[in-house]
Structure 1
Amino acid sequence: MDTDATGALSQLLGEGEAHPVHEVNTAGQSPFLLTSDHYGRILPRALDDLGVAGSELTRHVAWDIGIAGVADRLAEMLDAHLIAQRYSRLVIDCNRPPAAVSSIPLISEATAIPGNEGITEQQRTARRREIFEPYHGRIEAAIDRRLHDKQPTVLVSLHSFTPVYAGVARPWHIGALYNRDTVLPQLLLRHLRAEGDLVVGDNEPYAVNDLTDYTIPVHGEARGLVNTGIEIRQDLIADQSGQQQWAERLARIFAEIEVELRAARPVD
């Protein structure tokens, strides 16, 4: 790794390490542009294990369990472009403003992250430059191209959540998340509730806001795109069968929503 004059790490990712951006179906014709901020849990070699036990690195503190399998399948089923991020949220959280304390967390839930203690500004900058910025730059470029080509664009940010948090069980199977724009979330909520077998969260278990979120405020709201966040409970998508079932369900629902959006208003 390269270091600066003070000995601080100025380059994070070494030769042969994975590019932060994972994409599926870049030429997809669906109006839905899918993103997944917490798709992967890779740690750069230079950071070793961040001082975190291996058992912790498979938990939600490191990534959104199950969402990768759902996202990849959903992109193919919808003929949608997926842009996802391969590195663990413990290195840098790609759904947090870079200035937020939780961008490079010292503690996640109850898990301490020793490798994030006392890092220099140069090391912070390297994480932003080599992981955060390529990911969000790719989303921005994809939106720019779609708008230039007059391709209808609806942003859907895919996440998963833990069945239990701080000792409290979460009853929702899936939630629609939003802030200023309620067009797509309300359609999604209606379709999900019509399924008849789901407990559906309306801005649960989280709500979007400018201080704690990045993808929807910056790429959705600031660009004037119809948008929503989706949270799926992790025990429902922990294996390939669950991932396939949820991808199929969401593909069917989004196909129906696309018809409604096109009938009601232009989706570009």
Structure 2
Amino acid sequence: MLHNKEYSSAFSYYNLEGSSEVVLMCEHASNYIPDAFHNLGLSQDQVNDHIGWDIGALDVAKALADKLDAPLIYSNYSRLLIDLNRILENPGLIPSVSENHQIAGNQNLTEEQRQERIDTLYTPFHDAAANLINTQKTKHKALKIVSIHSFTPIFLGQQRPWPIGVLYGQAQNFAQQVINNLSYQKLNVGVNEPYEIDIEEDMTIPFHGDNNLIPALLLEIRNDLISTNTGVEEWAERLEKALKTKN
């Protein structure tokens, strides 16, 4: 068992004093796993791959935060330890398998081990996110939440044709505005692709957004498009245009 002092902060802020009505989140920002976990039985190459984090997502989130002057909260640990975008009841919260990779270090966990990860990584992140959102809500009547993710071009042998997906639950008007603005940029936008928001699985959009009547979107960018500094800058510019336009 690890003690709390052996963990650093579960999350970090970026541009915390930003003036935008948008709050940015990046739940899969890091692939960091403390040495004591021995990479959960995986090779470093596996941890560096998409199963360990959303490649490029944090770079885009930070660049977008600068362009919008928006506050950002992001994770400091790999989603393999605990997935911050899963509800506590979901089996994928601490994945025993990711894609076709067995995660030996997540199998046969005791309740104490599971609770440790919740207490040290999951709860602090979501408490801090809720506090940030509540603080910004006092400043902006038209507050919005945007979560930045990335996805693989191919998943289990299936090609994914979209460069970006816009995922939403109840925020249909906000989503349509962003979809339209991205489509004007001649992009093939996946609408609730390559995933859908599911209240029995997802945490961020239903919990922080829909349940509080705050328009909230999750943006998925294909990770081969944001693997370079040039790609990151291009996509941050595209998202800035999509998010800045008013209804």
Q: TM-score, normalised by structure 1?
A: 0.89
Which shifted more, 20-29 or 213-222?
A: 20-29
Matched, 1:200 2:195: no
Work out which of the residue numbers 224, 227, 230 in structure 2 matches 1:235. 224
- What amino acid is aligned across from residue 235 of structure 1 in structure 2? D
Query: SS of 1:252's equivalent?
Result: helix
Matched, 1:66 2:56: yes
Which residue number corresponds to residue 42 of structure 1? 32
Q: Alpha-carbon deviations, 1:48-107, whole Å to 9, x = none?
A: 211001111111111001111100110011000001111101000000011211000100
Give the unaligned 5+ runs of structure 1: 1-8, 261-268
Matched, 1:157 2:144: no
Work out which of the residue numbers 21, 31, 56 in structure 1 matches 2:46. 56
**Residues 182/13 of structure 1: CA separation in 2 closer, same or farther (3 Å cut):** farther
CA distance in 1, matches of 2:198, 2:220: 15
Work out which of the residue numbers 146, 153, 166 in structure 2 matches 1:176. 166
What is the CA-CA distance between 1:110 and the residue it aligns to?
0.3
Which residue number corresponds to residue 126 of structure 1? 116
Work out which of the residue numbers 129, 154, 162 in structure 2 matches 1:139. 129
Q: Alpha-carbon deviations, 1:220-254, whole Å to 9, x = none?
A: 00111011110000100011111111011111221
Q: Alpha-carbon deviations, 1:19-72, whole Å to 9, x = none?
A: 121211111110010001101111123212110011111111110011111001
**Is the 1:41–1:88 Cα contact (8 Å) retained in structure 2?**
yes
What is the CA-CA distance between 1:13 and the residue it aligns to?
5.3
Larger Rg: 1
**Is the 2:30–2:78 Cα contact (8 Å) retained in structure 1?**
yes
Which residue number corresponds to residue 11 of structure 1? 3
Q: Which is helix-richer, 1 or 2?
A: 2
Query: SS of 2:121's equivalent?
Result: helix
**Is the 2:205–2:217 Cα contact (8 Å) retained in structure 1?**
yes
Q: TM-score, normalised by structure 2?
A: 0.96
Which residue number corresponds to residue 167 of structure 1? 157
**Residues 10/121 of structure 1: CA separation in 2 closer, same or farther (3 Å cut):** farther
CA distance in 1, matches of 2:152, 2:140: 38
CA distance in 1, matches of 2:89, 2:238: 37
CA distance in 2, matches of 1:193, 1:13: 47
4+ residue runs of structure 1 moved beyond 4 angstroms?
A: none
- What amino acid is aligned across from residue 98 of structure 1 in structure 2? L
**Is the 1:13–1:130 Cα contact (8 Å) retained in structure 2?**
no
Give the unaligned 5+ runs of structure 2: none
**Is the 1:12–1:127 Cα contact (8 Å) retained in structure 2?**
no
Matched, 1:226 2:218: no
Which residue number corresponds to residue 26 of structure 1? 16
Work out which of the residue numbers 199, 204, 229 in structure 2 matches 1:215. 204
Matched, 1:101 2:91: yes
CA distance in 2, matches of 1:151, 1:28: 15
CA distance in 2, matches of 1:13, 1:234: 34
Which residue number corresponds to residue 113 of structure 1? 103
CA distance in 2, matches of 1:142, 1:250: 22
What is the CA-CA distance between 1:140 and the residue it aligns to?
0.4
Q: Alpha-carbon deviations, 1:128-161, whole Å to 9, x = none?
A: 1111111111110012222334554100011100
Query: SS of 1:158's equivalent?
Result: strand
Q: Alpha-carbon deviations, 1:2-27, whole Å to 9, x = none?
A: xxxxxxx262551xx53121211111
Q: How many residues align?
A: 247
Query: SS of 1:19's equivalent?
Result: coil
